[in-house]
Amino acid sequence: MQLLFINGSPRGKKSNTGRLMEHFIRGFTETSGSTCEVEYLVKYKNNLKALMEKFSASDNVIIGFPLYIDAMPGSVKAFLEALAPLEGRADLPALGFMIQCGFPETAHIRFTARYCEKFSHRIGCRFLGCILKGGCEGLDVQPTFLTEKYFNLFCMLGADFGKTGKLDEDILIKLARPEHLSAQNMAMVIPFINQALWDAQMEKNGVLDLSFDRPLMP
Amino acid sequence: MKFLILNGNPLGGNGNIDPYIDHLVEEMKSAGHDVMAIALRDLKISPCIGCFQCWVKTPGLCSINDDARDITRQFIASEHVILASPLTMGFPSYLLKNAMDRNICIVHPHLEEVDGEVHHKKRYDRYPVISYLLEKEASTDEEDIAILKDIFRRQAINMWSSVGFIHFTQSPVEEIIHAITVH
């Protein structure tokens, strides 16, 4: 089975999307005969047509991206627009999406996932599904006990996809947890993220006291 | 009331959204509104690179010094922003999305609970109402519009804003004038 994974993260190789993608591909390539090619959208920003051609020559494509202001990043939208000439053509690849966000709840991504599904129908690709995962900002600084569990799930999802050509619904549901946070969970998670992720970086840069600056105030 | 119209019609875009905006600006001015329309295609707006320097290094200011900085300044100075774009593949243009992505510096990295969900804290005291002027594509259907309405509503929540009107270029300009007059 052949797969083209398009990493649409504006951060390119050093992206949280890429971390999740690696684990998915690790599982996918376990099946003998499965081949996966990875392309980084940032490399094609001035030549989207070349990536569109790779897209149309593939059997299966997954487009991965981070949620930017509740939707796809502008650069991913530019690529989706570049796919317009393929609309309605025969032999288009099966298409799936991998969308992650920094917010701890996956609920934030559901709306854009619905757009992605409609996009697949509009262009005429068989829809594989959307792999959704919240809580993905700063994967490099998240403790291993947190990341290990879902990295394994990404690997299992990839392995199963390599065998069946389908994204397993049960694993997708597990990955999407938590869909919402309980009040108790929220009270714990919010101060942790604010301090460990954001204040720590501001402190390192010596700007913690400028945190709430309003440089564009009219 | 201070209005800003961001025209996301890309270079070489067909359709009638440009003359529609010209007409709208005229009508708004004669109704006494303070309105500025900016064609994004004439500006240099690089995509957001997700570096978060606008949160952790130069709080409130994007690390990329191009025209998007002025767009953000105009955005936050307005009371009502109208985002205008043709729909392409069921969504406003990449040009408009790139400009909106660069606005992430108007909120704060810290999270807080808003109606049972996690959202970012405010950086500024007030944020503009966001409305939409869209040009349908031949294939636009009710499902597309429902999907967009949801995403626009979600975007407004995260930018401490609210959705004003969602209007399509097939309806007369006077409907917008009416909507903003009663708003």
Which range is least confidently modeled, B11-15, B17-21, B23-27, B129-133?
B11-15
Contact B59, A20 (CB under 8 A): no
Q: Say what the pLDDT of residue B182 is.
A: 66
Burial class from Cβ neighbours inside 10 Å (0-12, 13-18, 19+) for residue A38 reads middle
In Å, how far is A58's CA from the nearest CA of chain B?
21
As a residue count, chain A comes to 218
Kindly report the pTM of this predicted structure.
0.97
pLDDT of residue B122 exceeding 60, the answer is: yes
Smallest CA–CA separation between A48 and chain B, in Å? 13
pLDDT above 60 for B183: no
Confidence of residue B136 (pLDDT cuts 50, 70, 90): very high
User: Which residue among B58, B91, B123 sits closest to A115, beta carbon to beta carbon?
Assistant: B91
Task: Please give the structure tokens belonging to residue A120.
Answer: 């697949």
Whether residue B155 and residue A81 make contact (CB cut-off 8 A), yes or no, is no
Ramachandran angles phi, psi of A29, nearest 5°: -80, 0
Cβ atoms of B54 and B47 within 8 Å: the answer is: no
Query: Which two three-digit tokens encode residue A173?
Result: 């549901």
pLDDT at A218: 83
- Mean pLDDT for each consecutive 10-residue tract of chain A (218 residues)? 97 95 97 94 97 98 98 98 96 98 96 98 98 91 88 97 97 96 95 95 98 95
CB A127 within 8 A of CB A117: yes
CA–CA separation, B108 vs A211, rounded Å? 8
Q: Does the pLDDT at position B13 exceed 80?
A: no
- pLDDT of the residue at A32: 86
For A69, which of B100, B108, B109 is closest by C-beta distance? Answer: B100
CB–CB of B59 and A186 under 8 A?
no
Q: Are B120 and B111 in contact (CB under 8 A)?
A: yes
CB < 8 Å to A64, chain B? none
- Of A67, A197, A76, the C-alpha closest to A139 is A197
CB A124 within 8 A of CB A41: no
Residue to substitute from A17, A180, A216, interface B, most B β-carbons within 10 A: A216
Nearest chain B CA: its distance from A59 CA (Å): 22
Mean pLDDT of chain B: 96
The CATH number covering residue B65 comes to 3.40.50.360
Chain segment B29-60, per-residue pLDDT in tens: 999 999 999 999 999 999 999 999 999 999 99
| Amino acid, res. A26 | R
Q: Is the pLDDT of residue B12 over 80?
A: no
- What is the number of domains present in chain B? 1
Domains assigned to chain A: 2-180 (3.40.50.360), 181-218 (no CATH)
Q: Which domain holds residue B111?
A: 2-182
